[in-house]
Amino acid sequence: MTAQNYIRYLNLAPHPEGGFYKETYRAAENIPHVSLPARFAPATGDRSFATAIYFLLPAGEFSAFHRIKSDECWHFYAGGSLYIHVLDSSGNYTRLQLGANLANGETFQAVVPAGAWFASEPAPGTNFALVGCTVAPGFDFADFQMAKADELGQLYPEQVELVNRLCRPAVI
């Protein structure tokens, strides 16, 4: 299977942060906005208990640095290795590596903690990576923030090259 096969068979659409996606699950029940953790304030509404998507990144593309207010659990499905670059609130950098080569440090699942800045890209030599993302409380674009390279670079000066490479230009 090629990336284009998966995009067609799974009916994936372009994602605003890069790559392709399709929501596959949204819990029928919601968490009332008054019961959400303080990081959701000011709450813009209730949130689903959880959501899940397919997410595909072809070679040469990346998911730009962004953050959300929920934990995000990533799951590896097909293709090659995927790097997830995480910048936490303490100023630390971590590279998670999804894939099937466990002996080489890859893992089938990894979690990006709520509020951390993160970006992803196929590892060198990878044609594409097909993964899934599960978010709880469920994903809502009201909780999504794209990074600005200049601001993120000031917060993480040791990672400024990575930040500049994996941020999208500001839309005017």
- The CATH number linked to 161 is 2.60.120.10
Q: Quick one: pLDDT at residue 128? A: 98
Is pLDDT of 149 > 80?
A: yes
Give domain status of residue 20, yes or no. yes
Q: How confident is the model at residue 17 (pLDDT cuts 50, 70, 90)?
A: confident
- Report the sign of the C-alpha dihedral through residues 72, 154, 122, 172, in that order: positive
Q: Which residues pair with 142 in a beta bridge?
A: none
Q: How confident is the model at residue 43 (pLDDT cuts 50, 70, 90)?
A: low
Burial 39-74 (b: 16+ CB within 10 A, else e): ebeebeebbbebbbbbbbbbbebbbbbbbbbbebbb
Give domain status of residue 92, yes or no. yes
Give domain status of residue 129, yes or no. yes
CA 115, chain centre distance (Å): 12
Domain around 61? 3-34+45-165
Is pLDDT of 16 > 90?
A: no
Q: Quick one: pLDDT at residue 19? A: 95
Total domains in the fold of the chain: 1
Give domain status of residue 15, yes or no. yes
Give domain status of residue 170, yes or no. no
- Across the range 130-142, mean pLDDT stands at 96
Alpha-carbon gap, residue 142 to 42, rounded angstroms = 10
Q: Quick one: pLDDT at residue 172? A: 41
Give domain status of residue 62, yes or no. yes
Give domain status of residue 40, yes or no. no
Alpha-carbon gap, residue 152 to 23, rounded angstroms = 28
Give domain status of residue 39, yes or no. no
Q: How confident is the model at residue 117 (pLDDT cuts 50, 70, 90)?
A: very high
Terminal Cα-to-Cα distance of the chain (whole angstroms): 38
